[in-house]
Amino acid sequence: MVHCNRLLPALLTIVLVAGAVTPAPVEGATKTAADVVMLLEKSGHEYSKVDDNVWKVMFAGKNMKSIPVHLTIAGGVLVTLAKLADRKNVKMDPALLTKMLELNNDFDYVKLALNDTMLYIRMDAPLRLLDVDELNHVLEQVSAAADEAYPQISPYVEAAK
């Protein structure tokens, strides 16, 4: 018990000092919607504005005729996704879940995700690091993964009614 009483003040000091020396955010380091639009303009991709802070870039794939890739800003992160199917059309099957886990292992930068409305490919990128090369990388990764995953996921998706 004596050792705990001596260690506690030392641990508190370390935590307080570490918090005090945390660097302050660099002014102008956080990109805005206007910065994302500027990068989209420079990217060479045609895009459309879907809503405030939401944009869409269309890709053509080998397995999917068209791949709409949506981008939005959420808490200092560029969230980029491509919908594979509406959740209501997905047949929840252990084989599908296994396939999703295998694809998540196979893909380096993106992940398959399932929320209450859809099954989709997603990639997040910190806005502070985003430049035109990184934006193009993100768009290409999401669209390519959607095109590659689609034929492997489609057996578990019912046709929209």
Boundaries of every domain in the chain: 26-156
Residue 109 bridge partners (DSSP): none
Given pLDDT bands bounded at 50, 70 and 90, which one contains residue 85? very high
Q: In whole angstroms, what is the distance from residue 65 CA to residue 67 CA?
A: 7
Read off the pTM: 0.79
Q: In whole angstroms, what is the distance from residue 32 CA to residue 50 CA?
A: 16
Q: In whole angstroms, what is the distance from residue 81 CA to residue 123 CA?
A: 6
Q: Which DSSP letter does residue 96 get? A: H
pLDDT of residue 13: 39
**Does residue 21 carry a pLDDT above 70?**
no
CB 72 within 8 A of CB 32: no
Given pLDDT bands bounded at 50, 70 and 90, which one contains residue 160? low
- The more confidently predicted of residues 18 and 45 is 45
**Does residue 3 carry a pLDDT above 70?**
no
CATH code linked to domain 26-156: 3.30.1460.10
Q: In whole angstroms, what is the distance from residue 108 CA to residue 127 CA?
A: 20
Q: Give Cα 57 distance to the centre of its chain.
A: 15
Lowest-confidence range among 23-27, 64-68, 91-95? 23-27
Given pLDDT bands bounded at 50, 70 and 90, which one contains residue 73? very high
Q: In whole angstroms, what is the distance from residue 17 CA to residue 78 CA?
A: 32
- The more confidently predicted of residues 10 and 122 is 122
Q: In whole angstroms, what is the distance from residue 139 CA to residue 6 CA?
A: 53
List, for residues 86-138, the tens digit of each pLDDT value.
999 999 999 999 999 999 999 999 999 999 999 999 999 999 999 999 999 99
| pLDDT above 90 coverage of the chain, percent | 78
3-state class (DSSP) for residue 8: helix
Chain mean pLDDT for the chain: 86
